[in-house]
Amino acid sequence: MVRPTQQLHAHREPVPVRAAATVLLLRDTDAGLEILMTRRSATASFAPGAYVFPGGHIDAADAAAARIAARRATQSTTQHTQAIAAIREAFEELGILLARHADGRAVCADEVAAMDRNATAGTAFADQCAARGLVLSADEVFTFAHWITDRDLPKRFDVPFLVARMPEGQTPTADESEQFEPCWVRPADALARHEAGSFFMIFPTIRTLQRMAAYATVDAVLAACAPVAGGEEKPLWTSCPRAGLLKGEDARYMEHESPFGELALVCPDGQIAHALDWQSTQPVALLKNVQRLTAPNPSAMTGPGTNTYLVGDAATGYLVIDPGPNDAVHLGRLMDATQGDIRLIVCTHSHADHSPGAAPLQALCAAGRKPPILGLSSAPTARATARFSAERELADGERLVLSGTAPDGTPITHTLRAVHTPGHAANHLCLVLEEDGLLFSGDHILNGSTTVIDPPDGDMTAYLDSLDKLDAACAAGGIDFILPAHGYVIGFARTAIAHLKAHRLKREAKIAAAMQRLPEGTPEQWLPLAYDDVPERMWPVAARSLAAHVARIRQLAEAR
């Protein structure tokens, strides 16, 4: 866990969340699946003027209405109450009633019209239904998604996005108070109209419609939400988005999106204070003791560029991780950012976008204060363009300590532990900042892509074993964040490692299947079969990792 003393921004407690529920009423048409949406009042305190799905707060009386609501065996008490609240809100806002008579007969439109939509919520609604012998169809309402309002917003809700089939014979009529202009719309059309500026929606609505657009029918949606036999009912996803600044504007991201981890590290309480724009002119502060300066070498292989990390502060001096290519401007910026007080230089591995800047950076430092260049020297298997010689080899588990005293007299220590992680390169290592639970992963783990394993210096078995080693290190050290050599900070460290390993093994299974399909084939023939989901322009790069997988598959076969 990051030390509070190293956070850039004073903590601000987010507004507490309130329980709510919303429902996506669905129908099938010849043109495809449609969803009922309405426009919120322009004076609403939350999302004014936005097109939304009907819904609102969960009232205490919604739980009491369980006495007249049908329930699935797999539906939890909470899910049941949420469904009841969504049914009530759909009735109050749109005059739609998800209910049936005790004998199973559908409720007709005249019966719904005779009920009072303006009665006090909760018990009054349940009493009206009970007086007519109606059973709320809560058993026909399923959970699609679970959204928790972003931490930066002044009003926050904990709200399931439920789904249900629109009842036959009923017509939505807005209450003209909270909701206006009910309309049926295909998810793709709603998204296109929003993009054109004529159909304003907020972030959770947009993301939900993007996911909903993948379904062709109401049955397909309901089937996706139904629990697996013997399992519990769960939403397809849960998200509490985070916001940062991109081109000066607020930009929001879900947990699986690349910037999310960086925003969680820099602004854990959700303040919109971190710029996500990639640039190479100024270091980006991630913590008080961690800065990132991205080298000006963007490409298909390096993404926005190679990240150089500066660990330390004015009191302790700085350790430089991966000084990058031999770029005089980049190295000059590193000197400016550290005021020349560089105590140690560490290269995670020998590749040309990571280590060539080490010796020139060292030469820029003042005489008598030349920082040692540490790491692992390249193996004989390294390509001629990826040679590196460490002045001192770092032992596996060796600790590098920066220490000093703050202006107020407080001692400060930053400890980085080396972790040998061969695989991407034979001489690859990672570093753990122990006091703050951070993993500097070099090229072993990247954000937004998988690293290339290029034999003979790269080895797939060693790579997978190193992933396991890093997972163990994260578990033992409480590491939540990974700082890669390319891309934003990665959150949920152990989950990211697990997904990466699963992706590698899935790819290996496709390669093995291609080899079985064409037992006399060549790597050039297996490549299109195993990487059919990768753009063809990337196949020359993918061919290197394919070779690593093929070597591993054959090694495993020989060992049986």
Model confidence pLDDT, tens digit, residues 445-465: 999 889 999 999 999 999 999
Note the pLDDT of residue 36. Answer: 97
What percent of the chain has pLDDT above 90? 89
Q: How confident is the model at residue 419 (pLDDT cuts 50, 70, 90)?
A: very high
Total count of domains within the chain: 3
Mean pLDDT of the chain: 95
Q: What's the token pair of residue 19?
A: 């329980």
DSSP notation for 222-273:
HHHHSPPTTPPP--S-EE--EEEEETTEEEEE-TTSTTHHHHHHH-TT--S-
Note the pLDDT of residue 3. Answer: 95
Task: Report the C-alpha gap between 549 and 546 in whole angstroms.
Answer: 5
CATH of the domain at 43: 3.90.79.10
Indicate if 118 and 162 belong to the same structural domain. yes
DSSP notation for 439-459:
EEEETTS-SSS-----TTT--
- pLDDT tens digit sequence for 214-272: 999 999 999 999 987 777 899 999 999 999 999 999 999 999 999 999 999 999 999 99
Mean pLDDT of the region 37-59: 88
372: which DSSP letter? Answer: P
- Structural domain that includes position 435: 279-492
Indicate if 217 and 283 belong to the same structural domain. no
Q: Is 70 within a domain?
A: yes
Q: Is 75 within a domain?
A: yes
Indicate if 202 and 325 belong to the same structural domain. no
Note the pLDDT of residue 329. Answer: 98
Indicate if 231 and 310 belong to the same structural domain. no
Q: Is 497 within a domain?
A: no
CA–CA distance from 388 to each of 286, 316, 377, 428 (Å)?
Answer: 29, 27, 5, 11
